[in-house]
Amino acid sequence: MEPKELEPFPPSTLVNSSRWWSKDTVAIVTGANRGIGYAIVKRLAELGLTVILTARDSERGFKASETLRSQGLNVQFSRLDVSDAASIEAFVSWFRENFAGLNILKNCILKLSILISAEIESTFTDKSVTVLAI
């Protein structure tokens, strides 16, 4: 017997009908200029969230965000190198100036977990922060 080929789920079946997010829901995805991080940014933005794409390389990160924005998606770019304290501080400062709170933090870079979420959570203590694990 030949194995049966599975068909992918249509996007609408992957989303629960009780939608809790909106364009005001803010997600940060680290290490997102390519690969899984990029795919996560794209999907969250397709679902209508405001997504911040971060990357160490400014040129690549900006290009990735522009590609998604050209598709009508609400994606912003900010440079972030998690191995550089000054970069983390600059990112957190930029985030605080531009957003009222953080709803989702997806770490595609393991080192970032504690560094960024602790900084941002300390600023927005009344907001819930969801760290996605994939």
Element containing residue 65 per DSSP (H, E): helix 58-69
| Tokens encoding 124 | 């927005």
According to the model, what pLDDT value does residue 134 have?
33
In a domain, 47, yes or no: yes
d(CA 49, CA 29): 12
What's the average model confidence in pLDDT over 84-106?
Answer: 86
| Cα angle for residues 112, 134, 58 (degrees, 5° grid) | 45
First CA to last CA distance, the chain = 33
pLDDT given at position 21 = 74
Q: What CA–CA distance (Å, rounded) separates 44 from 6?
A: 24
Provide the mean pLDDT of the chain.
76
Q: What is the pLDDT of residue 24?
A: 77
Q: For residue 95, what are the domain limits? A: 31-132
Do the domain assignments include residue 8? no
E strands, the chain, where? 26-29, 50-55, 75-79, 104-106, 130-132
13-48 per-position pLDDT tens digit? 445 556 677 777 888 898 899 998 899 999 999 999
Does residue 29 contact residue 53 with C-beta atoms inside 8 Å? yes
Q: State how many domains the chain has.
A: 1
pLDDT band at 108 (very low <50, low <70, confident <90, very high): low
CATH number of the structural domain spanning residue 43: 3.40.50.720
121 in a domain, yes or no? yes
Whether 21 is in a domain gets the answer no
